[in-house]
Amino acid sequence: MKEPFSPPGRGVNGSDLMELDDVKFVRGPSLTMPRDWTFEFETVALPHAGGLLRYALHLEGEKARAEDLVQDTLLSAWRHFHQFEQGTNCKAWLFRILKNLHSKQMRRMTRKTEVSLEENEPRLAAPERISANQQVRDAFARLTPEHQEVLQLAAVEGLGIREVADVLQVPQGTVMSRLSRARASLRSVLQTRAFVRKEGL
């Protein structure tokens, strides 16, 4: 050990610092290393990637863009995972992020491409040649985007009414009435199919 040097009476301020004129200070923010959330994120958030992609496909209508949206959503969620309130529904939180990102993208888009309803409207395939599930998907595809969205979030992905309202940024009452109308609509399309009568819907 070398001699201890303790200039008596000298504190942080004053002459001590004067000696340091020739020392170049490297200044920067002090960053407390955050808890490593990777494990929690992988177990709590990533399992919802499938649901996010289904929803992104509904919003984007095209796989590559939907995948990009899901990627942006998950990375954003990962960066902000410390803000996720443990114990709340992570799936709803992720869907909210995805919807926000998508809305931002939409606002940024200067040109909005007009889609012809005629061309876009899926045709109902002949019932005898397709599966019951395909018929349901066809029927679903004939609903308005608004009805598809609310059914997808509530019925397919299992989000609660409050959570759907949060994702869509509309009042709960709106979600409930929209959901009722969407169910009625889907039922009405399905009732044209033979199998529906069999299933008793």
Sites for other proteins among residues 65-104 (CB under 8 A): 66-67, 70-71, 74-75, 78-80, 82
Regarding 35 and contact with other proteins (CB under 8 A), the answer is yes
Among positions 43, 134, 174, 192, the unique one binding other proteins when judged by CB under 8 A: 134
Nearer residue to other proteins within complex by CB, 4 or 87 = 4
Regarding 154 and contact with other proteins (CB under 8 A), the answer is yes
Stretch that binds other proteins, among 19-27, 92-100, 104-112, 118-126 (CB under 8 A): 19-27
Regarding 123 and contact with other proteins (CB under 8 A), the answer is no
Burial of 182 (0-12, 13-18, 19+ CB in 10 A): buried
Regarding 8 and contact with other proteins (CB under 8 A), the answer is yes
Stretch that binds other proteins, among 20-28, 86-94, 96-104, 116-124 (CB under 8 A): 20-28
Regarding 34 and contact with other proteins (CB under 8 A), the answer is yes
Stretch that binds other proteins, among 90-98, 111-119, 122-130, 178-186 (CB under 8 A): 178-186
Nearer residue to other proteins within complex by CB, 110 or 133 = 133
Q: Give the contacts of 150 (CB within 8 A, at least 6 positions apart).
A: 164, 168, 175, 178, 179, 182
Q: At what angle do helices 172-190 and 132-141 cross, to 10 degrees?
A: 130
Stretch that binds other proteins, among 59-67, 86-94, 105-113, 118-126 (CB under 8 A): 59-67
Regarding 136 and contact with other proteins (CB under 8 A), the answer is yes
Planar angle of CA 25, 31, 32, nearest 5 degrees: 135
Q: Give Cα separations from 185 to 16, 140, 158, 192 (angstroms).
A: 79, 9, 19, 12
What is the number of other CB atoms lying within 10 angstroms of the CB of residue 67?
16
Total residues in contact with other proteins, by rule CB under 8 A: 75
Q: Give the contacts of 22 (CB within 8 A, at least 6 positions apart).
A: none
